[in-house]
Structure 1
Amino acid sequence: MVLNKTCSIFISILFFSSSVYGEEDFTHYAFANYLGSGLYRTSGQNATVINLPLSFELQKNDTQALLLRAPVSLGFFNFKWSDVPEGDLPSSVGTMTFTPGIEYRVRRSDKYEFQSYFDLGYGKNFTSGTNVAIMSAGVSSLLDLEFKQTKPRWVNRLYFAGYRSFGGEQKETYSALQSGIDIGTDIHWRWNWLGVDVEPRVFAVGYWYFDRLKIATPFGEDVLVSNSLEVGATLAFSKPILWEWMGIDRLGLSVRAGDGVQAWRLIFEFPI
């Protein structure tokens, strides 16, 4: 939930909602920036969202940092997992959200960091013509543990998101708790082409939704999700690779499952 200062690109296949809504919103998109990245599929149907979780440092010292968050999410229709290896791109934008906000980080010690954020933004569904106001807030704790040379990091996050249509006739909220651990393998090598050191790392994270989260597909049946579990692996780089503005510091793959939903995630940053 709390994003890095650099840009990462995520591909998600699904749109999300947390309560009953009208037919024109069956491909809802307002929470796309908050429900995680991935290649999702359920009820035999797909829809695609590309998340750009941009953020920029406003102020920083040895113990505190203040960031401007500016995540953008673009949604596409008629785009399948099989299109990815061939490099085919979606032909038209179906939805867009922009949810700027402020994030505050403070290090309580060398091993513990506390983070909080607040976003207020806008979303539009170009297919139905609907517009929504979006709000989200959350807190996180990150604790560095000691176990041989694996440098585990235990992360807990609590967050809330909600939206209201511009006409005021529709509004929905959801809140969630997630807890997970990211742990190294103590295997290192040098990737000379990119000039970075690389370490494989594995992670596991659980998600619990306080109101059962409804995941909707354009044509299939809705799925109510109360919890899910995700496991995966990443390559951690000693410094961001490729373009400086993009700042990819992880590269990996994971699978998330729960209550009839299975999701594959392509990962380009810290995964939890």
Structure 2
Amino acid sequence: MRTIQGQLFLLTLLALITPSSHAQQPDNASADVEARAEEPTFTPFYAFANYFSSGLYQGTGGQLTVFNIPIKVEPDQEGRNKYRLRLPISLGFTDFQFDADGVSIPDTVATATVTAGIEFDHWVSDKLMLRPFLDVGYSQNFSGQSSSLIYAGGMSTFYYFQAAEEKQVMVTRFQRASFRTQGTLIVDGFSSIDSGIDWTLPFRYEMFEKPMYMSVYGRVYWYFLDQTSTEISNDFGSILDAQELGFTLGWIKPLDMLLFDLDRIGFGYRTGDGLTAWRLFFGFPLE
């Protein structure tokens, strides 16, 4: 039995809706720029990389591209109600860019986040499953020489139903994450609710003699930022939202990738408060 599962996510930010500090502005536009600067922007703190749906984000000192590897260890168990150990790892790189000749990845890690936790699968019925989780961890910002302790918890609900000759799933998640910086002892955090549906299409095809399927998904996010927030947003007590649409290509029999089984690859487009992004990911799109 495969006991270690891993996923690798890459979220690529193409444009942030914020004016450049080096751009020249006309005199009659200064009032408008000042007003827009006071609007909340989507700038999550680097310690929360594991809880902002993975990927590339703007942190406190610039833009980062984060590779999240949420490894899960599942001991051998009987029955449907199971538990897993959560060991997500996030590595952040500065100045990650795409160019015409390919992808340029810097060799310097700017941030690293390691957490340990546990999650449970509790089946309420044949269609409804609850998955609570708890995490604690440590995050280091090497460029800013700062570190934080992280603690988080939440729960996801999975509702399965039959439609279009396929088994579909709707997922809703609530989570709360907080951090405390070492040295300065700043305490901050946020809560979020997101909900989405993954819709499997009723046809099959083959690629390299591997039977495959396709799904489309949609997801909405609401972020509730603490009123004491100084690192997450420019506006205290903000509520930010984002939306994402995309599709996945899946294998009926997952591919053996040594440390984990790869069952899907997907692409998505996300937009929201101060954020426009393309997303490339591997695995289930609603986790």
Map 1:197-216; keep pairs closer than 5 Å. 197-211=211-225
Whether 1:109 and 2:109 are equivalent positions in the alignment is no
Counterpart residue type for residue 84 of structure 2 = L
Counterpart residue type for residue 117 of structure 2 = G
Alpha-carbon distance in 2 for matches of 1:79, 1:105: 37
Alpha-carbon distance in 1 for matches of 2:103, 2:255: 21
Whether 1:7 and 2:22 are equivalent positions in the alignment is no
What is residue 107 of structure 2 aligned with on the other side? 91
Map 1:54-73; keep pairs closer than 5 Å. 54-73=71-90
Alpha-carbon distance in 1 for matches of 2:96, 2:216: 29
Alpha-carbon distance in 1 for matches of 2:47, 2:285: 21
What is residue 34 of structure 2 aligned with on the other side? none
Whether 1:180 and 2:196 are equivalent positions in the alignment is yes
CA 27–142 in structure 1, closer or farther in 2 if over 3 Å, else same? closer
Q: TM-score, normalised by structure 2?
A: 0.78
Match of 1:253 among 239, 249, 267: 267
CA 268–162 in structure 1, closer or farther in 2 if over 3 Å, else same? same
Structure 2, gaps ≥5 residues long: 14-42
Q: TM-score, normalised by structure 1?
A: 0.82
User: Which has the higher mean CA deviation after the structures are superposed, 136-145 or 221-230?
Assistant: 221-230
Q: Post-superposition shift, 1:264?
A: 1.2
Alpha-carbon distance in 1 for matches of 2:112, 2:55: 17
Task: Give SS of 1:96's match.
Answer: strand
Alpha-carbon distance in 2 for matches of 1:229, 1:175: 17
Alpha-carbon distance in 1 for matches of 2:215, 2:230: 29
Residues 63 and 108 in structure 1, CA contact (< 8 A), matched pair in contact too: no
Which is higher, the Rg of structure 1 or of structure 2?
2
CA 240–125 in structure 1, closer or farther in 2 if over 3 Å, else same? same
Alpha-carbon distance in 1 for matches of 2:45, 2:175: 19
Residues 157 and 178 in structure 1, CA contact (< 8 A), matched pair in contact too: yes
Map 1:111-150; keep pairs closer than 5 Å. 111-150=127-166
CA 171–265 in structure 1, closer or farther in 2 if over 3 Å, else same? same
Q: Post-superposition shift, 1:5?
A: 5.5
CA 173–59 in structure 1, closer or farther in 2 if over 3 Å, else same? farther
Q: Post-superposition shift, 1:64?
A: 1.1
CA 30–38 in structure 1, closer or farther in 2 if over 3 Å, else same? closer
Match of 2:252 among 238, 242, 245: 238
Q: What are the Cα deviations for residues 87-109 of structure 1, in whole angstroms up to 9, with x where unaligned?
A: 43221111101011011112223
What is residue 228 of structure 1 aligned with on the other side? 242
What is residue 151 of structure 1 aligned with on the other side? 167
Residues 122 and 129 in structure 2, CA contact (< 8 A), matched pair in contact too: yes
Alpha-carbon distance in 2 for matches of 1:38, 1:81: 15
Task: Give SS of 2:104's match.
Answer: coil
Alpha-carbon distance in 1 for matches of 2:244, 2:231: 20
Counterpart residue type for residue 203 of structure 1 = Y
Q: Post-superposition shift, 1:128?
A: 1.6
Q: Post-superposition shift, 1:172?
A: 1.2
Q: Post-superposition shift, 1:113?
A: 1.3
| Aligned-residue CA RMSD (Å) | 2.9
Q: What are the Cα deviations for residues 44-93 of structure 1, in whole angstroms up to 9, with x where unaligned?
A: x742111110010035222211111100001111211338x724322111
Over the matched positions of the two proteins, sequence identity in percent amounts to 32
Alpha-carbon distance in 1 for matches of 2:264, 2:164: 22
What is residue 21 of structure 1 aligned with on the other side? none
Structure 1, gaps ≥5 residues long: 15-25
User: Which has the higher mean CA deviation after the structures are superposed, 240-249 or 255-264?
Assistant: 240-249
Counterpart residue type for residue 134 of structure 2 = F
Match of 2:181 among 165, 168, 185: 165
Residues 233 and 253 in structure 1, CA contact (< 8 A), matched pair in contact too: yes
Q: What are the Cα deviations for residues 23-64 of structure 1, in whole angstroms up to 9, with x where unaligned?
A: xxx99410001101345579xx74211111001003522221
Whether 1:33 and 2:50 are equivalent positions in the alignment is yes
CA 139–129 in structure 1, closer or farther in 2 if over 3 Å, else same? same
